[in-house]
């Protein structure tokens, strides 16, 4: 039931007036006040935890440092060893290069001597060959038109008596006296500008003694000890050739035996220097003849004896052995190497 008196009803609250926005304007939004929140207490704790505390390194890092130090020390030791090895190898390289340079100079000089000796020998042989070719009669004989009366040949010239000198025999006393005079003249008053086939080099007592022994003790057939150099041996042989040339003249034919062209080249130059000879004094048919093989020398010496001349065989000290047929001739001179001295021969 409703009450009769409405005054008893409560009154409605009054609403504030609402202002409508004008047309074309946006409603203003009231600014919200900024709320300031207090900083949480956990942030201070996190910053405190995040800050590292300086303390001793962990065991893993210490082990790594020790391994690094050990590896570094090992590498430094290896580096020092390698540097020492490199320095040693460099010194060895320098020493080897120095030896190569020094040995190369010596070898170059040796090769030059060999080449020059062979050149001299080859040039001399070609000249001898050309001279022999010029002596050949290459013009064919002209036909004889009519037979002619041939005069009887003249009486044959008496063949030369073969020479068999024996200077140690009493019957050769005059020859021995001449040999003494020649040797004294070579030693006391050498003639450096004398005639060819006469010794023109210094001849001392040390050289005279073996020559005198070969003439008067060995009788012109024997071996003398080498003087240690081919030049000294050539001087001894030159003195012998000079004396025999004074005794027998052109009937003397020296024959030189050496097994290499280089040695023959040295003999040629030495004889030219000691006896004042020229290229024309060396050849197969005149003067001094050079041989590399004993068989060819034996054949040449036999032909020389057949025509009545006197062969003189000179054997170089580089020959390992002496062929027995060489010992049948009346004059031979061999130089035997001295076992007390090293060999000077490079060939």
Query: pTM (2 decimals)?
Result: 0.55
> Among residues 154, 166, 183, which one has the least CA distance to residue 221?
166
Residue 268: predicted pLDDT: 93
DSSP conformational letter for 293: -
Tokens 């009450």 sit on residue: 3
Contact, 211 vs 322, CB < 8 A?
Answer: no
User: DSSP letter string over 227-274?
Assistant: -SSHHHHHHHHHHHHHHHHHHHGGGEEEEEE-SSHHHHHHHHHHHHHH
pLDDT of residue 335: 93
Whose tokens are 């012109």? That residue is: 220
- Rounded to the nearest 10 degrees, the angle between the axes of helix 261-275 and helix 59-135 is 60
The pLDDT value recorded for residue 30 is 47
Report the half-sphere exposure of 129 (CA within 13 A, side-chain side). Answer: 6
Q: Please state whether 287 falls in left (phi above 0), alpha (psi between -120 and 50) or beta.
A: left
What burial class does residue 337 get, using C-beta atoms within 10 Å of its C-beta: 0-12 exposed, 13-18 middle, 19+ buried? middle
Phi, psi of 322 (to 5 degrees): -110, 130
The answer to whether 195 touches 276, Cβ cutoff 8 Å, is yes
Q: What are phi and psi of 116, to 5 degrees?
A: -65, -40
- What does the pLDDT profile of the chain (347 residues) look like in tens digits? 444 444 444 454 455 454 444 444 444 544 444 445 444 444 444 444 444 445 566 788 888 898 899 999 999 999 999 999 999 999 989 888 887 777 666 667 778 777 887 888 888 778 777 777 766 655 555 555 544 444 444 434 344 555 666 665 666 677 888 898 999 999 998 888 889 999 999 999 999 999 999 998 888 889 999 888 899 999 999 999 999 999 888 899 999 999 899 999 999 999 999 999 988 899 887 789 999 999 999 999 999 999 889 999 999 988 888 888 888 899 999 998 877 665 555 44
């Amino acid at each position: 039931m409703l009450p009769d008196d409405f005054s008893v009803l409560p009154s409605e609250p009054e609403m504030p007036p609402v202002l409508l926005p004008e047309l074309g304007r946006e409603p203003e939004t009231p600014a919200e006040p900024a709320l300031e929140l207090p900083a949480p207490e956990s942030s201070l704790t996190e910053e405190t935890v995040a800050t590292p505390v300086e303390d001793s390194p962990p065991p893993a890092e210490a082990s790594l440092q020790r391994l690094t130090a050990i590896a570094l020390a090992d590498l430094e030791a290896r580096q020092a060893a390698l540097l020492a090895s490199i320095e040693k190898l460099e010194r060895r390289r320098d020493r080897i290069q120095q030896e190569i340079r020094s040995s190369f100079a010596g070898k170059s000089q040796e090769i030059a001597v060999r080449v020059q000796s062979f050149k001299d020998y080859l040039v001399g042989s070609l000249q001898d060959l050309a001279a022999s070719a010029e002596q050949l009669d290459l013009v064919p004989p002209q036909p004889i038109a009519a037979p002619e009366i041939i005069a009887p040949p003249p009486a044959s010239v008496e063949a030369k008596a073969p020479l068999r000198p024996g200077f140690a025999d009493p019957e050769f006393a005059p020859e021995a006296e001449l040999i003494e005079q020649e040797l004294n003249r070579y030693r006391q008053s050498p003639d450096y500008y004398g005639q060819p086939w006469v010794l023109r080099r210094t001849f001392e007592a040390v050289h005279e003694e073996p020559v005198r022994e070969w003439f008067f003790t060995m009788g012109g057939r024997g071996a003398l000890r080498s003087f240690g150099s081919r030049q000294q041996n050539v001087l001894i042989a030159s003195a012998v050739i000079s004396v025999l040339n004074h005794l027998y003249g052109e009937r003397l034919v020296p024959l030189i035996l050496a097994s290499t062209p280089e040695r023959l080249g040295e003999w040629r130059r030495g004889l030219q220097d000691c006896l004042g000879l020229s290229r024309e004094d060396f050849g197969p048919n005149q003067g001094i003849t050079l041989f590399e093989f004993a068989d060819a020398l034996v054949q040449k010496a036999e032909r020389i004896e057949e025509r009545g001349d006197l062969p003189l065989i000179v054997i170089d000290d580089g020959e390992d052995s002496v062929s027995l047929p060489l010992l049948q001739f009346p004059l031979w001179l061999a130089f035997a190497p001295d076992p007390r001295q090293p060999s000077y021969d490079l060939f």
